Structure 1
């Protein structure tokens, strides 16, 4: 799913004709210009990929990159609610199929026009939301509470693994056979994955045909205290009045403001600011995620260890992880505009910051499972609304900054992200809780 979410981030530098004179928003040519003075996209002694390029300015690029988030603003709540009622297997599976098929049509949509491409991305965002929210209702039925942090961390690390694959392979594909194959290859892989999903996934342990009786009894007994699934009744009024829930939602908004900028614009940053070619920008973008991947899983194990051994209260663990995940990357990213002359220093900052940033996934972003396990899919959907809204706004604003003032754009982007990030952290540290709420 995440390879499909990030494919435009790695393909965009190859899709855009940076050296052509301004023309129509979707004007394209079948081959990149050969007489361009900018040599960073050249690959000597290699056959250049033949693929269309478009005269999209940074503002149009920002709209295209953020379109996925606009599709997820309204979709998470109903998809999380439906998954909680009818089961996540078919909701998640359907979302994966739809997103994968639409990925295959992205090159055709790009060649048809910006409007069609934006509409396709909006629909794709809805489908991907079905996957990202529905999975949480599965974990509520499968993960014993004391093991939940570890298991969700392992599963969520797939987002990092997807990032590693798309960033490292995508740049190579763009540089050799052409950017359309980024969409074709990962669209086909998504279709194959959806087939495996329908064959191998079961809604709960009771219906699994190959598990031992002892394992089923252990899981069911460990889950007995958290209550039954909510059915059709969701205490909306009580949720609206819940300050701990609002703290989670506001913090999710502030965290994903920065996350979507990093996810979406890292390849562009390497390509434009550090003047790396497509292949190198993809590899360099993948390196921070490669380092963050094992540390994310280890962080989940650490959170589970601290909780199961009663070393710290769960509320303390969530807030400590969140504070580290916000403050350290904020400080590091604020340094980037001043060290951009050094590629090694820039890369070191971008490698270290995701290690700490991932702690937020084990802090506040996992907190809704603590305060209301019965409604975790619904609340995950609710947090996706705030996260997607942040992503839609932040990526659009980033494109606007770059289009208006290329010299100081990134400094402004990181200052605004730091302000949003720290404001959300303060609210969460004051109001956040990790105990099951009365309404849940």
Structure 2
């Protein structure tokens, strides 16, 4: 199937691997649209604390208190947590194309059912959001599995940066949802997302194949370029991951902690930023949606910038991959944590708060060079499984952060209560980065080539 996504000159066609990268971007975008739209829509779905406050007619409103809202905001992540772990193994066994594609079709259906669930009560909404999260948990492990088969090593930075499609999904979903809610009512903010996801998923099935060897229209030259660049690091044999060696790997554990810190900062802003912008800083719903998306736009732009810089450094072999991963932890984790500390003590002006949060998440775009890329370094054969495992643990902040926000803001919801929340986020960023700088690695581990079905002797990890 010949499909050119970008305009091209006569006689020139876009390499198929670039089309795959674009579709990875779109898959992550759709996943995040389904994930984050509820964070803004719930503001219009609930009655305000002050019963005398006049609210616009944007659809039915429900008497959900802070604990109910925290439960519903975390529901997605309960489901996401379950499938993140096996998502990589499912992709490696059945193919990332099918597993991610069918999950998105079902996600569109359940997203459209959310307004009906709301009329049935809190627990009906919780169930729908849980299912959407359950379906979404496989997406990123599937994408990592596809990257391991499609991306030449010197282009890994750009391919991993394509996963920032999720960030762009946040960028466009909140302001668009805010406008839809104010003009058409909050139910349509769910319906429009569902329609978009359904249409793009159809394109996904047309364009994407699980590997260059399976793609029917890829040129022989491009197929050989990709396969030769990967050498023997990626096997075509389907086999179980070497869990024993993964569990004993210090580089893997340091990656897990690094990813956890990154996801704490990210999920905190996804679940809490619209609430903070609207209820604490006092912006209206459409403004809250737009301003909440600015940090994610900065993250998207910086992600591609940092990814391109890392690719150049790697192509020219200026420093080792391990040093690249560790050095880029400064912008991806240390600097964002410092900005959250500044926010905790100096964030009193609404626009200063927005600026600080934007800088913090913008620098975190360098995560495409650190925790988002490192599973590809350690074990290309099991990149999906490794990412699924770290994402399994990294999902828990999506559950805990709304609870922490609810705990600190239960009696009063001012900037003073949010100070502790920001300091917790700063620690979650900085401490894992320090640990990774000591124990992390960018080398392929020897257990990448172990076959659990054979009687091969035990092998030790490569040196850090």
Normalising by structure 1, report the TM-score: 0.91
User: Is 1:61 matched with 2:91?
Assistant: no
3-state DSSP class of the match of 2:396? helix
Question: What is residue 9 of structure 1 aligned with on the other side?
Answer: 39
Compute the displacement of 1:89 (Å): 1.0
8 Å contact from structure 2 (residues 160, 372) kept in 1: no
Per the alignment, do residues 292 and 259 of structure 1 end up closer, same or farther by CA in structure 2, a change over 3 Å counting?
closer
Matched, 1:36 2:53: yes
**What is aligned with 1:332?**
339
Alpha-carbon contact 2:265-2:425 (below 8 Å) kept: yes
Shift of 1:386: 0.9
The alpha carbon displacement at 1:51 in A equals 0.1
1:123 matched to 2:140? The reply is: no
Say which of 88, 92, 95 aligns to 1:80: 88
Q: 1:174 aligns with which of 181, 189, 212?
A: 181
Partner in structure 2 of residue 253 of structure 1 = 260
Change (3 A) 1:390 1:50: closer
1:409 and 2:409 correspond: no
CA distance in 2, matches of 1:366, 1:291: 19
Asked if the contact 1:330/1:418 (under 8 Å) is kept, the reply is yes
Distance 1:435 1:202 in 2: 28
More moved, 393-402 vs 85-94: 393-402
My pick for the range that moved more, 360-369 or 3-12, is 360-369
2:170 corresponds, among 163, 170, 189, to 163
Rounded Cα–Cα distance in structure 2 between residues aligned with 1:174 and 1:340: 29
Q: Distance in 2 between matches of 1:375 and 1:129?
A: 17
Task: State how far apart, in whole Å, the 2-side matches of 1:216 and 1:372 are.
Answer: 22
Q: Give structure 2 stretches of 5+ with no counterpart.
A: 1-30, 449-464
The answer on whether the counterparts of 1:369 and 1:376 sit within 8 Å (CA) in structure 2 is yes
Structure 1, unaligned runs of 5 or more: 22-34, 42-47
Q: In terms of mean alpha carbon deviation, does 400-409 or 93-102 score higher? A: 400-409
Q: In the alignment, what sits opposite 1:222?
A: 229
> What does the per-residue CA deviation read over 1:76-131, in whole Å, with 9 as the maximum and x for residues that have no partner?
22221011012111101111111111110111112211111112111111111121
Please say if residues 74 and 385 of structure 1, whose CA atoms lie closer than 8 Å, have aligned partners that are also in contact: yes
Asked if 2 retains the 8 angstrom alpha-carbon contact of 1:175 and 1:279, the reply is yes
Mapped to 2, the partners of 1:167 and 1:300 lie a distance apart of 25
TM-score in terms of structure 2 length? 0.86
CA distance in 1, matches of 2:378, 2:233: 11
Aligned to 1:351: 358
Consecutive aligned runs of 4 or more in structure 1 exceeding 6 Å deviation: none
Q: 1:382 and 2:389 equivalent?
A: yes
Aligned residues: 417
Taking only aligned residues, the RMSD between alpha carbons, in angstroms, comes to: 1.7
Per-residue deviation, 1:426: 1.9
